[in-house]
Amino acid sequence: MPETITITDDRTGKQVTVPITNGVFPASAVRELDPSLFIYDPAYMQTAACRSSITYLDGDNGILRYRGYPIEQLAEKSTFLEVAYLLLNGDLPNAEQLKQWTLDVTHHTFVHENMRKRFLDGFHYDAHPMGMFVSSMAALGTFYPEAKNVLDKGSRDQQILRLIAKTPTIAAMCHRFSVGLPFVYPDNDISFPANFLNMMWKIGDYEVDPRLERAMDVLFILHADHEQNCGTTSMRVVGSSQADPYSAAAAAASALYGPLHGGANEAVVRMLADIGSIENVPAFIEDVKSGKAGSRLMGFGHRVYKNYDPRARIIKEVAYGVFEVTGKNPLLDIALKLEEAALNDDYFKSRKLYPNVDFYSGLIYQAMGFPAEMFTVLFAIPRTVGWLAHWQEMLTDKEQKISRPRQWYTGVDERDYVPLGSR
Ligand code: SDX
C-alpha cells in the first residue's frame, strides 16, 4: 500500500500527491494546490510544527524515549546531568565527556550578586516563586549581552551551560526569599541535585539525605523533556525570532506556569487537600463528571498520552522511596482512591484520561518539604534542558524560520468610520 496522500481541489480538479512519513505529510501539498489556502487547526491539535530527533512519544502505548533510550532505563540507571548531555548532544557521554560536562556545569552555578541585591530583593515579600523564576530567566539574560549572538554555536553553548547551571540557584533563591531566609551559595563539591537541596534547605549543619538526592535526580530526569509541549513550543516560537535564550526561556517558563500545564502539580495537591478525605472522593468524581465549575481532575488527562503516562508510573514508585525517609504524605491515600475511582469510571475511560506526570509528583515534593508554590519551579529546573535542546535544534534546522501562522478571519467586512456623534 503506497505511503502517500492525494488531495484534490474540487474547485479546479487539481490534485497533489505527497508522501506520508512516520504519520506526517507536508502542508506544502496545500501550498502547491492553492497558496491562498490555509489549514485551520486550533491549538495545533493535528499539526507537526517541526522535525525533531530529541524525544519520541507514543501516546497510545505510553512510550517516552529520550534520543531513543526508554525513560524507564534512564530513570533507573542514569543521572540528570548525563541525561542533559544526552538531550543536548544526541548521545550518552563517555567518562571523559561526562567528567568535563559535570565540571563545566558545576563551575557556572553562581549568579551575579546583583541578581539578588538589585533584582530578587525587589519583589514583594509574598511574590509567587514561579513568578519570580519567570522574571529571573529574562533578567539573567541582561548580564550576558553576547547571548544575542544566537547564530554563533560558541555563544549558544555558553548560554546553555549558564542556564542549566544557574536555574537551580535561582530556584532556591526564589524559595529562600519567599520564606525570608538568607540565600545559600552553591557548593561545588556536591552533586547537581544535592547542591540544589543544599541551597534550598541548608540551615546550620544540614546534610543532604542520599535517598532524597537520588529521588530529586530521578524527578529531574523524568521532567527534562517532552517533545512539543506548550512550554517547549513557546521556546521554539520565541526563539525563532532570534531572541536571546534567556528571553525565550522566560516565555517557556511562563507557559509552564499555567495550571493546564506545569502548574498542574500544585493544583493537584490543592485539589487533594480540598477533597480532604477518601470518603469525599465519590462526590468529587461526580462533580468532575457533571462539569461543576472548578471541578477538573487535575493531574489526569493528556493531549498525547491516551494511556498511563509512563512518568506517572515511575514517580509513583519514587514516592514510596521518599516516604520511607519523610513519612507518608497523608494525601496519598486520597490520590490512590481518586486514581482507582477514575480508572474504573466510564467518563474517564471513554475519554482516555489517565494520571499524568503531575498527579503524584506534588505528593513527593510536599513530603520533601517543598511549599506548593515551588512545585512548578521544580518542574522548570529540569525542563530548561528540554527547552534548550529544542531551541538549538530549531536554530540549526534549515527548514525553520520565524514562526508566523495565519488565521481564519471571521470578523466584519470593510466598513466606513462613523463619527462619534452618529454612533
Ligand atoms: C503537562 O503536553 C505535554 O507534554 C505536557 C506535559 C509535559 O511534560 O510538558 O506532559 C506536562 O502539562 C501534563 C498535563 C498537566 N495538566 C493537568 O493535569 C490539568 C488537567 N488535565 C487537563 O486539563 C487536560 O487533560 C489537558 C490540558 C492536559 C489536555 O487537554 P486536551 O488534550 O485539550 O483535552 P480536552 O481538554 O479537550 O479534554 C478532552 C475531554 C473533555 O471532555 P468533553 O468536552 O469531551 O466532554 O476530556 C475532558 C474534557 O472535559 N477532560 C477532563 C480532564 N482532562 C480532559 N475531564 C476531567 N478532568 C480532567 N483532568
DSSP 201-246: H-SSS----HHHHHHHHHHHHHTS--SS-HHHHHHHHHHTTT--HH
Closest-lying ligand 1 atom to the alpha carbon of residue 301? 25
Tell me how far the alpha carbon of residue 177 lies from the centroid of ligand 1, in angstroms: 33
Position 185 in a domain: yes
Position 417 in a domain: no
Contact between residue 195 and residue 157 where contact means Cβ atoms under 8 Å apart: no
Q: Give backbone dihedrals phi and psi of 355, rounded to 5 degrees, phi first.
A: -60, 140
Task: Convert the pLDDT of each residue in 111-155 to its tens digit.
Answer: 999 998 889 999 999 999 999 999 999 999 999 999 999 999 999
Position 404 in a domain: no
Q: How far is CA 88 from CA 53, 388, 389, in A?
A: 11, 8, 5
The whole-angstrom separation of Cα 396 and Cα 195 is: 33
Position 319 in a domain: yes
Tell me how far the alpha carbon of residue 48 lies from the centroid of ligand 1, in angstroms: 19
13/127 same-domain check: no
Position 423 in a domain: no
393/359 same-domain check: yes
Count of C-beta atoms within a 10 Å radius of residue 196? 26
The whole-angstrom separation of Cα 353 and Cα 299 is: 10
Tell me how far the alpha carbon of residue 37 lies from the centroid of ligand 1, in angstroms: 30
367/268 same-domain check: yes
Residue 143: give its domain's CATH number.
Answer: 1.10.580.10
10/115 same-domain check: no
pLDDT at 294: 74
246/392 same-domain check: yes
68/93 same-domain check: yes
pLDDT at 295: 83
Q: Whose CA is nearest to atom 44 of ligand 1?
A: 351
11/124 same-domain check: no
114/26 same-domain check: no
Domain count of the chain? 2
35/116 same-domain check: no
Q: Residue ranges of the chain with pLDDT lower than 70?
A: none
pLDDT at 355: 93
210/318 same-domain check: yes
| Angle (nearest 5°) at CA 109 between 373 and 94 | 110
Contact between residue 362 and residue 374 where contact means Cβ atoms under 8 Å apart: no
- Residues with CB under 6 Å of ligand 1 are 226, 229, 260-262, 264, 288, 296-304, 351, 353, 356-358
* Alpha-carbon 22 to chain mean position: 24
pLDDT at 293: 77
pLDDT at 382: 98
Q: Which of 244, 302, 309, 390 is catalytic?
A: 302
Q: How far is CA 401 from CA 42, 148, 349, in A?
A: 21, 17, 40
Q: From 45, 52, 87, 260, give the residue whose CB has the most ligand 1 atoms within 8 Å, as the site to mutate.
A: 260
pLDDT at 221: 98
63/19 same-domain check: no
Type of residue numbered 164 = I
Residue 184 corresponds to which cell in the numbers above? 545559600
Q: Which of 9, 104, 261, 333 is catalytic?
A: 261
Position 410 in a domain: no
Residue partners of 218: CB distance under 8 A and separation at least 6: 75, 314, 318
100/24 same-domain check: no
Tell me how far the alpha carbon of residue 327 lies from the centroid of ligand 1, in angstroms: 31
Angle between helices 264-275 and 375-395 (to 10 degrees): 160
Contact between residue 420 and residue 118 where contact means Cβ atoms under 8 Å apart: no
Residue partners of 10: CB distance under 8 A and separation at least 6: none
Catalytic-residue membership of 358:
yes
Contact between residue 300 and residue 348 where contact means Cβ atoms under 8 Å apart: yes
Query: In terms of residue numbers, what domain contains 66?
Result: 52-398
Percent helix / strand / coil, the chain, rounded to 5: 55, 5, 40
Position 137 in a domain: yes
Position 263 in a domain: yes
Quote the mean pLDDT of the chain: 96
pLDDT at 64: 97
Tell me how far the alpha carbon of residue 256 lies from the centroid of ligand 1, in angstroms: 14
Closest-lying ligand 1 atom to the alpha carbon of residue 57? 4
